[in-house]
Chain A
Amino acid sequence: ETGVTQTPRHLVMGMTNKKSLKCEQHLGHNAMYWYKQSAKKPLELMFVYNFKEQTENNSVPSRFSPECPNSSHLFLHLHTLQPEDSALYLCASSKDGTAANIQYFGAGTRLSVL
């Protein structure tokens, strides 16, 4: 138990659906991250939020829309996804937004886009 909880754990959606991924951390951290993990590829950083402000958008398509209402919660809103978006989406948090701090990860949401 790392203190970072992601829901749902599994999600199947059609290309026209709208869904949201949720991440919650109980570590008192101020930075939160979204990563995408595809088969046989390194982990890809998508977004970084530091003290609720987005500090990094790694050229992510607009069909992925993050939201960070407070330092403990992070959402990833999904709409009109493509089959190539199927992957494991991991959320992480750290003390602040400097990568010098250890990032603690959730168990991920495994997304399948049909």
Chain B
Amino acid sequence: AQKITQTQPGMFVQEKEAVTLDCTYDTSDQSYGLFWYKQPSSGEMIFLIYQGSYDEQNATEGRYSLNFQKARKSANLVISASQLGDSAMYFCAMREHPPGGNNRLAFGKGNQVVVIP
């Protein structure tokens, strides 16, 4: 069963506008972590932001913020003041602990964002 769901189709965003990328997750763990990564066309996965399940404040990192709604199991990424360099695939990931296994990251399928001038 898919643990991380990212269902938005490719998005076009006007430069300097804000964009919200949706991520919902499924877990029965009480303690977990949520991550967002950016992957430009070059291929490198770039860490953006992290939210712990017990963190009371929404995580922020520069122009990135995470809208964490625990009861709804959602962890949406908000990018403010979009720049052309924000064009990329964005992946949501969750730390999970499978039975009898090690902690691991489960990734969603990603959201494509294209910023237009």
Q: Which residues of A contact B (CB under 8 A)?
A: 2, 9, 40-43, 45, 48, 55-56, 88, 90, 92, 97-100, 102-108, 110
Q: Is B70 in contact with chain A by the CB < 8 A criterion?
A: no
Chain B interface size, under 10 / 10 to 19 / 20 to 34 / 35 or more:
20 to 34
Q: Which residues of B contact A (CB under 8 A)?
A: 2, 4, 33, 35, 37, 42-47, 50, 91, 93, 95-96, 101-110
Residue ID in chain B nearest A88 by CB atoms: B43
Known: A55-B102, A56-B104. A108 touches B109 (CB 8 A): no
CA distance A41 to B91 in the complex (A): 12
Residues of A near B96 (CB, < 8 A) are 99
Q: B45 near A90 (CB under 8 angstroms)?
A: yes
Binding site secondary structure of chain B: strand
Give the distance in Å from the alpha carbon of A41 to the alpha carbon of B108 in the complex.
Answer: 8
Extra pairs beyond A43-B93, A100-B33, A105-B45 (17, CB < 8 Å): A40-B109, A42-B109, A43-B45, A55-B102, A56-B102, A90-B45, A97-B102, A98-B102, A98-B103, A99-B96, A99-B103, A103-B47, A103-B105, A104-B47, A105-B46, A105-B47, A108-B43
